[in-house]
Amino acid sequence: MTQPDQLAQLKRLTTVVADTGNFKQLAQYAPQDATTNPSLILKAVQQPDYAPLLAETVAAHKGEALDSIVDQVLVRFGREILKVVPGRVSTEVDARLSFDTAATIARAHRLIGLYEAAGVKRERVLIKVASTWEGIRAAEQLEREGIRCNLTLLFAFCQAVACGDAKVQLISPFVGRIYDWYKKAAGAQWDEAANAGANDPGVKSVRAIFNHYKRHGVATEVMGASFRNVGQIVALAGCDLLTISPELLATLQASAAPVERALDAAAAAKMDLPAVHYDEQRFRWALNEDAMATEKLAEGIRAFAADAAKLDRLIEDLRK
């Protein structure tokens, strides 16, 4: 019997999610869910395959406020994705609202309202929110209303703990961006082989979060994100979910190398790990003390905000 490809093997251990706005690519990988972000949507609408969808959506809502048209575009992409995946789609709140709890809640309400008006049940949508203190508080309120959330731009253990305490549906710890920071910080001293696989700093971060959640009965799902290579993905086999770019999904599909369970919920439940909680002051201090997380969170918000502004300009040009 021939060995199944790595993607098939991974699906036996972990829920595989596609990280893309390019919904025409999805079917060949048969993911359960899909995630999007401002950068991925911007990239998609600039491609010939998707430019008509953007133009059509803008034309249909030309007289509305700019932020309302943006949400229409995001939801249109989400609806197309849901025609391909059987599970959920993640749609992100504007990153420029990352420090405004009330505005994040209002934007989430509008996104869910647009989905529901189109006949999509809210259970199939995850609202993506940055893992700032304000974002976590917004998600806590939204979850109480039955609006499920995906807390993104998560780099620090304190962010994960606060999300678990807020009873959010899912978190997306960023593996590759953590790896990037440590590699850059080490410079010429970086040893790739010594920091690969289970020793990768991004992998270690997700493993610590996963073990903490399983040890203390935290129901929040852990979805590793932002991968740079297949080694990082294989080293997290057994995580609740992994969201993977089409490029890396193709690499997994092309290889028959073995994939074995790396994270084990049953084993984690028996670990000697102390319970940890953070109030606002302790959360902000813990985040401040983590240079990597502080820098990557700020950088990520700035990058998503910049791409959101570029999408704004594309829409403004179309409705002139």
| Res 1: pLDDT | 66
Token readout for 155 is 């780099």
Residue type, 171: I
Percent of all residues in the chain with a pLDDT value above 90, rounded to a whole number: 98
128 noted as active-site residue? yes
Bridge partners of 243, per DSSP, are 17
CA-to-CA dists, residue 6 to 3, 31, 115, 231, angstroms: 9, 14, 34, 11
Q: Coil, strand or helix: which one is 67?
A: helix
Average pLDDT over residues 136-164: 98
CA distance 298 to 60: 35
CA distance 154 to 318: 34
Average pLDDT over residues 148-172: 98
Average pLDDT over residues 44-53: 93
Residue boundaries of the structural domains of the chain: 6-318
pLDDT tens digits, residue range 247-273? 999 999 999 999 999 999 999 999 999
End-to-end alpha carbon distance in the chain = 60
| Res 3: pLDDT | 83
Arithmetic mean of pLDDT over the chain: 97
pLDDT tens digits, residue range 96-107? 999 999 999 999
Average pLDDT over residues 211-236: 98
Confidence label for 320 from pLDDT (cuts 50, 70 and 90): confident
Percent of all residues in the chain with a pLDDT value above 70, rounded to a whole number: 100
pLDDT tens digits, residue range 77-131? 999 999 999 999 999 999 999 999 999 999 999 999 999 999 999 999 999 999 9
Average pLDDT over residues 163-182: 98
Backbone angles phi, psi at 270, to 5 degrees: -100, 0
| Res 38: pLDDT | 86
Confidence label for 147 from pLDDT (cuts 50, 70 and 90): very high
CA distance 253 to 101: 41
Kindly name the residue from 11, 83, 121, 128 that is annotated as catalytic.
128
Specify the pTM. 0.97
Q: Which CATH number fits the domain 6-318, given the four candidates 3.40.1160.10, 3.20.20.70, 3.30.540.10, 3.40.50.300?
A: 3.20.20.70
Is the separation of the CB atoms in 84 and 27 below 8 Å?
yes
